[in-house]
Structures are given as structure tokens and as C-alpha cells.
Structure 1
């Protein structure tokens, strides 16, 4: 019994340190002010784990909801090995997307300086149609649980002037801010549709100049592989995907800084009979 009491006391002694690593409410308010002012921020200090970054994110999302709208789903970041290596994280990370993230439609216009560190990224959305998605582990099971695949230009705000690491990426909500939504594509629950998602080529261009291209397999080997990973990540925090939510699957290629006076286009080749585009103009 004495040994048990000593062990319990030792565990309790560690709790203040663990809690202290989660940034304070004051620190998160200061970060939110920088985000809303479109001013780059210094990185948060004192975080020792991704759990601390998640704790910071939970605070930040609640602060920004009155400004960016209610949460409408999730985004998954670091869905390729190169991005994971850059941030020193061995797996993807999850953020929350807002109503503003999916507000702008293809062909729309937005200020280039929409954020503190504004970027443009080739992405893709899916819409959840069944809560069976939380238990889906193969491609056809995922397809049965979504009803739309949506071309999507994500416009993340990377917020920090320097010092980005895994905990800080989570703390800034994986950069979720704006996005541009293309024409939704009804899902086909077939092996062929799943194969086309993997074999398609996703091209990001600026004023007709190609910036980057990547295969569908750039996202965890297959875009639909993102969903089971997200389901398990959410389950560890007692959360589930819900019907009607949108999931941002991640960047097919690295994000690029947003520049004024550009028309950015993401083109999906090989998904349908004709290429599918989504565009946005920056001013």
C-alpha cells in the first residue's frame, strides 16, 4: 500500500508540469489578436508535446468561432512524408474548419493579405453522409459514407513569423482559415472511382503558370486513406465525424505564399472524363 501511495503522489507531482505546458488563456488571446489583425506572431513557447498543441488549438477555435463562423468539419494536415519531415512529426495532424473556410465559391475573389502568413494550397473536400464513416477502414466503406467529393483550394494562414514545429502547427489550428469550393462531384461507390481518386493528377497553377503537380497518391498513398486515420485520431479524443460535416483531405503539394493580382487554379486530371477546375482571384 505504501508503494501505491508513493506512486500516486509521484503521479500527482507531475500533473502541474503537464498542465503548465498547455499555453495560458492570455497567450491564446494574444495569438488570436495577431490572427485577426493579420499580423505574424511569434511561436508559442513552453509546449513539450503534440497534446499541448491540441490543448492550445481547442482554446483558439473557441476564441475564433465568433469571427470565422461555427465549425463545419475537420482538416487533416501533414498527409505526406515530406511535410511530416519538415515539421518533425511522424503522422498527420487534425484541425477544425469553419463556415468561412468553405464560404467562397470558385471564380470568387479575396484579398491576398487575408491572413498573417497567407498561403494557397491544392486540396480536396469530402462531405460526410453517414456516421458509419467512423468505422470505415477500406476505400469502398469510406465511399459509402460520403456523398460528395469537392474540388477545393485551401487558403491557410500559417500565422507564425518563424519557429514552426508540430505543437505550434496544431496550436494555430493547422492554419485553417479560408478556402474556395468548386462544383461538387457525386460519389460513385465503385472500385473504379476509388482507383481514379488515386491515379488522378492534381495541378496548382498561378495565371496559367504551373506551380506544382502531384498524384492522388500524395495523400497517405490514397486520398481515402485520410478518413480512417482521422476517425482514429478523433476517437482518441472522444470525438466523431457527423453527417453533413466536411473533411479537408490535405495538401497534394506544398502550400505557396498568396500574391496579389493572381488567379490561382487547381485542376484535377483523370478523376472525371474532363478535367475539373476550381479558381480564385486575389486582389
Structure 2
């Protein structure tokens, strides 16, 4: 019979089992709480993330996202810096789309940067991310498990790219819902400007083996501008000033066929 220590070690190793990867992937696809996750530390979380992303995206090179980019969020979770997650190929949408959302999903308004295969900035893109992160077991809520699940990645709506501006720093964003002003936001990052954010994501992705040197451009989401907002039905437009606009419609899942996934 296993000792308590051996049983604990077995539970910690179980997070990497193929069946668990498939179970998490299925929960993400259906937007329901994640099954049990037991990533004991950040390195294990990134290890699981790589397996999960490969399971969902196959061999295709994916875009990346930063999370916990505000100093307040880092302090709350006891972090010394942001986190990085991988995005799903199937989740990339474009301005003008209609997205079906489920209870518990949130919106994050973000600046993104398109980079070349070496990580050099090429263009800027306004993005609205639709996120969902929930655990079936409350005890599983941890930084390592959030990293394992790609920081709640689901779908992301991209506006039109504009030429890279290395001097760009502060951006004001105005969100309108159903014709009425919904929110005013700004990009208050712990790493400062978009240029600094790009350098950080590329460096961190290389550190955790999330970066591959291939001749394909990638889009890097630099983290939410302001707090995440509840995703509720309505017609939205987000004006990112010099970066342009993102328009989209949200519909609740009830009585609607989801064609956005």
C-alpha cells in the first residue's frame, strides 16, 4: 500500500496524464469548469500548458497572451511579474463578428503586437479577448493551474493592424455597448509600454519553451487594459484611438447555435 507521501506524489504526477489533458481540452472547448488539476508549481503548469496547446492546436504555431500584467494582480497572487499563455487557433476572430458567450465569461480589451519570427514588432492591433477560467474544484485555483489552462484563453477578436510605433505608450480606450458609453480604459501595464511588453513576452515564452523560431508572424496580446468585464449580450464597439476600432456582437448561449468556435 502506498504511503501518504507516495500517494501525494502520484496525485502530482497525474496532472500530466494524457486523459487529463484531453479532459481539460474538452472542458475548454465546451466552456465548462475544468476537471481536477494538480500542477504543484509554475514549471509544471507550463509543462502542462505545452501539452494542452499541442493537443488543441496540433503542430500549428499559435499566438500568445500575457496575464496578470498589473502590479495589483501580481501582488494579489504573490507574483514578481506577469504570466504567459498560449492562444487557440480556432479562437481567432475578426472585427464585425458575432460571438456566443456562456455564464461566467469575461471581456478583456487589449493592445496586441504582431511580431516576425525573431520577435521584432511589425504592427499594432486592437484586440478584445473573451476569456473563461473556472475550476470544478475550488481548491484547484492556483497560479500554476491557471498557467496550465492558458490563463482562461478562449477567443479573441482582432481589429485591423496599423504600422508599429515604438514610441507609443499610453492608449485610451472607449467602449460603447448598444449605443451607450460602457467604459473608459487605459493600458496600465506593470511592464510599461507595448515595446517593453513585446520584449517581455518573447523572453518569457523562450524561457518556458513556448517560442519556436519559424518564419511565421505571431500576434502577442499584452494583457487587459483595466479590469475584465462581464460578457453580456449586446452590440459593442471599442475605440482604441490611433489603433482603430473593434466591433462585435455578443449573444447568450440560450437558444442560440454557437458558430463562433
TM bucket, shorter chain: 0.7 to 0.9
When residues 165 and 148 of structure 1 are mapped into structure 2, their CA distance, relative to the original with a 3 A threshold, is same
Whole-angstrom distance in 2 between the partners of 1:123 and 1:225: 15
1:212 and 1:253 in contact (8 A); partners too: no
Aligned to 1:222: 193
Post-superposition Cα deviations, 1:175-232, rounded to whole Å, max 9, x if no partner, equal 2221111121122xxxxx434x312212344334444433334352212211121222
Q: How many residue pairs align between the two structures? A: 240
Normalising to structure 1: TM-score of the pair? Answer: 0.74
Is residue 111 from structure 1 mapped to residue 86 from structure 2 by the alignment? no
Alignment partner, residue 223 of structure 2: 250
- For the 8 Å contact 1:122–1:203, the answer to whether it is kept is no
Aligned CA-pair RMSD: 2.8
Q: 1:181 maps to what in 2?
A: 158
- State the SS of the aligned residue for 1:150: strand
- What corresponds to 2:60 in structure 1? 70
Aligned to 1:90: 80
Q: Are 1:43 and 1:164, in contact at CA under 8 Å, matched by a contact in 2?
A: no
In structure 2, the CA distance between the partners of 1:82 and 1:28, relative to structure 1 (3 Å rule), is: same
Structure 1 or 2: more helix by fraction: 1
Q: Which residue does 1:10 correspond to in 2?
A: none
CA contact (8 A) 1:88 1:166 kept: no
Distance 1:254 1:121 in 2: 7
The answer to whether the 8 Å contact 1:21/1:52 transfers is: no
Contact kept? 1:78, 1:92, Cα under 8 Å: yes
Query: Is 1:267 aligned to 2:242, yes or no?
Result: no
Q: Distance in 2 between matches of 1:207 and 1:216?
A: 24
Change in CA separation of 1:179 and 1:165 when aligned onto 2, cut-off 3 Å:
same
- Distance across 1 between alignment mates of 2:198 and 2:181: 29
Supply the distance in 2 between the matched residues of 1:214 and 1:220 (Cα, whole angstroms): 17
Normalising to structure 2: TM-score of the pair? Answer: 0.79
Q: Which residue does the alignment assign to 2:141?
A: 164
How far apart, CA to CA, are the structure 2 residues paired with 1:174 and 1:154? 12
In structure 1, list runs of 5 or more residues that go unmatched.
Answer: 1-15, 134-144, 188-192
Alignment of 1:120-159 (within 5 A): 120-129=107-116, 131=118, 133=119, 145-159=120-134
Q: Which runs of 5+ in 2 are unaligned?
A: 1-8, 252-261
Structure 2 contact 69–191 (Cα < 8 Å) conserved:
yes
> Structure 1, residues 89-110: CA drift from partner, whole Å, max 9, x if none?
22111111232232x2212101
Q: Is contact 1:119–1:158 with CA below 8 Å preserved after alignment?
A: no
Distance 1:219 1:100, change over 3 A: farther
Q: 1:51 aligns with which of 28, 35, 43?
A: 43
Rg (Cα) greater in structure: 1
Aligned residue for 1:250, secondary structure, equals: strand
Aligned to 2:18: 25
**Secondary structure in 1 aligned to 2:98?**
strand
